[in-house]
């Protein structure tokens, strides 16, 4: 293979660029980092030509040291194996790439975030996005290090930037559909709580939306089952539904994972779906399409949420202020779309 071309046999350095452009190494740094000193336009062009010609890629670590910021963004999720958070991570990774930053993935549940956050701050991350509700100690580390924090979860106004879907509106539309279109009078709620130790946590809009829809129709809100936000939790809910709430004819499950476990548990017990029990759910994760019967679910605009979270961290104004959640009809609710 010809070896006469530009491919370098060692890393190209800032000094190489400086030499070719006929400037000092410091000037190259000013161009690369857009400061701290101004550079004349003609000089800037000469440096950029030299960078391109030599294939110089400034070391990200060096750039982080100079600017005090890296092009890394930390994303914290409670459980990447949950398809909802996997889809969120995917959306965030794509949004990050569109902004030429990289995503550091960290997994942690409420109460265990402090060491994670310390590790991320050690990298001078440009910001932290968390879908896990952080404990106060973890927030203190972030604040002390002056790192932008964006929550992808319910939060109080005092918590700073937070992005979440229209939980209440989405839940209301699903429950209304079960009541108004399919005529159910007793609709159970299956909902989770990951953090029983955080009583101050804002109440989940999904529960409120379920209550609102039933109360508006003059129906009972007595059928409430609290289990883990997981398929295993949903399977447990199936047993409790059959044993403790035999009068319920429909269920609104607060996550697709809970609905998947609910379907497995109900079918194992010989329940016919949606004839004996109709189901609607919340998340809009990809696997909702492949349950038997396919799952009617409230689809969350993850791509928009993730893009705005990445933008917020980088100081870019948000595209959206609200994140409407849209009911997608399949067969589990009793509908019969193609």
What proportions of the chain, in percent to the nearest 5, are helix, strand and coil? 45, 15, 45
Assess 80 for contact with a second copy (CB under 8 A). Answer: yes
Among residues 13, 43, 44, 86, the one that binds a second copy under rule CB under 8 A = 86
Does 289 bind a second copy (CB under 8 A)? Our answer is yes
Considering the complex, what minimum distance in angstroms separates the CB of residue 203 from a second copy?
Answer: 28
Interface pick for a second copy out of 12, 21, 83, 135 (rule CB under 8 A): 83
Long-range contacts for 32-41 (Cβ within 8 Å, ≥24 apart)? 32/58, 32/63, 33/58, 33/63, 33/66, 33/67
Q: Choose between 79 and 204: whose C-beta lies nearer to a second copy.
A: 79
Nearest approach, Cβ of residue 151 and a second copy (Å):
20
Q: Is residue 209 a contact partner of residue 141, using CB atoms and an 8 Å limit? A: no
**Residues with Cβ within 8 Å of residue 82, at least 6 apart in sequence:** 229, 230, 257
**How large is the greatest C-alpha to C-alpha distance in the chain, in angstroms?**
83
Under rule CB under 8 A, residue 64 binds a second copy: yes
User: Does residue 98 interact with a second copy by CB under 8 A?
Assistant: no
The separation between CA 245 and the C-alpha centre of its own chain, rounded to angstroms, equals 33
Site for a second copy in 14-53 (CB under 8 A): none
DSSP state of 110: T
Mutual angle of helices 231-244 and 256-268, in 10-degree steps: 50
Q: Quick one: which of 155, 231, 304, 313 contacts a second copy (CB under 8 A)?
A: 231
H/E stretch holding 274 reads: none
Q: Which of residues 104-123 bind a second copy (CB under 8 A)?
A: 104-107, 118-123
Q: Which residues ranging from 162 to 221 are in contact with a second copy (CB under 8 A)? A: none
Q: Which residues bind a second copy (CB under 8 A)?
A: 7, 11, 57-62, 64-65, 70, 72, 75, 79-81, 83, 86-87, 89-90, 93-94, 100, 102-107, 118-124, 144-145, 231, 235, 260-261, 263-264, 267-268, 286-287, 289-292, 294
């Amino acid at each position: 293979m010809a070896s006469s071309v530009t491919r370098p046999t060692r890393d190209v350095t800032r000094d190489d660029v400086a030499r070719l452009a006929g400037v000092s190494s410091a000037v190259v740094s000013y161009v690369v980092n857009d400061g701290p000193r101004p550079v004349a336009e003609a000089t800037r062009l000469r440096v950029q030509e030299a960078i391109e010609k030599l294939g110089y890629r400034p070391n990200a670590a060096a750039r982080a040291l100079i600017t005090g910021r890296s092009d890394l963004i930390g994303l914290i999720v409670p459980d990447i194996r949950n398809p909802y958070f996997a889809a969120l991570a995917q959306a965030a990774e794509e949004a990050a790439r569109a902004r030429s930053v990289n995503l550091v993935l960290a997994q942690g549940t409420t109460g265990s975030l402090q060491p994670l956050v310390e590790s991320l701050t050690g990298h001078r991350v440009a910001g932290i996005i968390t879908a896990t509700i952080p404990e106060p100690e973890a927030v203190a580390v972030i604040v002390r290090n002056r790192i932008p924090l964006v929550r992808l979860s319910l939060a109080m106004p005092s918590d700073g930037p937070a992005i979440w879907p229209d939980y209440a509106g989405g839940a209301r539309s699903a429950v209304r559909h079960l009541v108004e279109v399919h005529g159910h009078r007793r609709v159970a709620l299956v909902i989770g709580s990951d953090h029983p130790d955080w009583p101050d946590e804002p109440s989940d809009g999904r529960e409120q939306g379920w209550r609102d829809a039933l109360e508006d129709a003059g129906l009972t809100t007595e059928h409430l089952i609290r289990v883990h936000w997981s398929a295993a939790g949903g399977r447990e809910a199936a047993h409790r539904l059959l044993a403790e709430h035999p009068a319920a004819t429909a269920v609104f499950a607060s996550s697709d994972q809970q609905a998947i476990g609910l379907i497995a548990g109900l079918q194992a017990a010989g329940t016919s779906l949606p004839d004996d029990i109709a189901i609607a759910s919340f998340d809009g994760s990809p696997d909702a399409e492949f349950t038997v019967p396919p799952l009617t679910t409230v689809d969350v605009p993850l791509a928009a949420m993730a893009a705005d979270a990445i933008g917020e961290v980088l100081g870019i104004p948000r595209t959206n202020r609200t994140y409407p959640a849209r009911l997608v009809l399949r067969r589990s609710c009793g509908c019969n779309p193609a």
